[in-house]
Amino acid sequence: MAEIRNFRILRHLRSDTTSHLIRFRRGRLTQSGRGLAFWFHPMSTSVAEIPIDDRELPFLYHGRSHDFQDVTIQGTIAFRVVDPEKLAQRVDFTIGLATGALLHQPHEKLGALVTELAQQFTWEYLTQTELASILESGFDAIRGRIEAGLAADRGILEMGIEIVSVRVGAIRPEPETEKALQIPVREAIQQRADQASFERRALAVEKERAIQENELQNQIELARREELLITQRGQNGRRQATETSEADQIETVARANRIGVEAQAEANRIERVEQAKVAAERDRMEIYRDFPAERLVALAVQKLAGKLERIEHVNITPDLFGGMLTQLVRAGTERLEAGEE
């Protein structure tokens, strides 16, 4: 909005850069441009202010599709003024010279013109298209129809307006129709969910079967390895037993040989001892062979007396005592004779 200051009989006007001012003095165009500032006399001047920035115009259309279904379309149209002088000739943008405010409502008039044209293009598309196609691809189709229709409209071009963009935010049927349309989709989604659930269960069963088969294969492999281990242990045990038996046999043979050698040595030693004893006994017998019987008896008695600890009684017959006494006397006689010689 233009800013106007009052200085007695003169006034000063200053506008923004997004506004285009058209100044008339006594019915003649004297000045036109954006962001102007000037002094003027209110009694002979009139000013029009046209905004040249982008304007957004929301819309909400209710229509009926080719298959007689009510549809609501919501969106926004963005436009801007490219020829303010043309627009000022078609729409009154005069401002009050005391306040700078618009005297009329040109924006409402301009918005109504644009929205009604867009609504016409939208209804033309709706009446030619069924509801399913509208819901499936209606956003691009409706946007294209509105853009093409407004861009080619002669009235819009003569007013100096340019359509910047068209956005379609929502396309909605009646609540009952929307619910009816959602049922097949929901059923399809539920079927896909069930199918996914079945596939997941089948996959789980398949994985479980694979796991069990893998475990069975592992058990079979373990059993096979255990069998090989038992066989190897049996072979090792037999080999160990064989080697132990052979070692024991060798040790037994060696022990038998050693015992035989020791026995032979002991036998030889005993034989030599016995031979020595026999030789000694033979020599002793040779010595005793020429002894008289009485002397032998005396020696035997003497030896026997040395072996006995105590003698209870001794029986001596006269024959034995006589012979012994005779022998003693003879021995004494021989010893005396030997001493005299």
pLDDT digits (tens, 9 = 90+) for 284-332: 666 666 666 666 666 666 666 665 555 565 565 655 555 555 665 565 5
Tokens representing residue 258 in the block: 């050693």
The domain over range 3-173 is classified in CATH as 3.30.479.30: yes
pTM for this predicted structure? 0.53
| Bridge partners of residue 70, in order along the sequence | 64
Domain ranges across the chain: 3-173, 291-341
* 185/199 Cα distance (integer angstroms): 20
Report the percent of the chain where pLDDT is more than 90: 21
* 65/59 Cα distance (integer angstroms): 18
> Which has more confidence, 96 or 291?
96
pLDDT digits (tens, 9 = 90+) for 247-285: 888 888 888 888 878 878 887 888 787 787 777 777 766
Cα–chain center distance at 284 = 109
* 185/150 Cα distance (integer angstroms): 36
pLDDT band of residue 77 (cuts 50, 70, 90) is: very high
101, 180 contact by CB (below 8 A): no
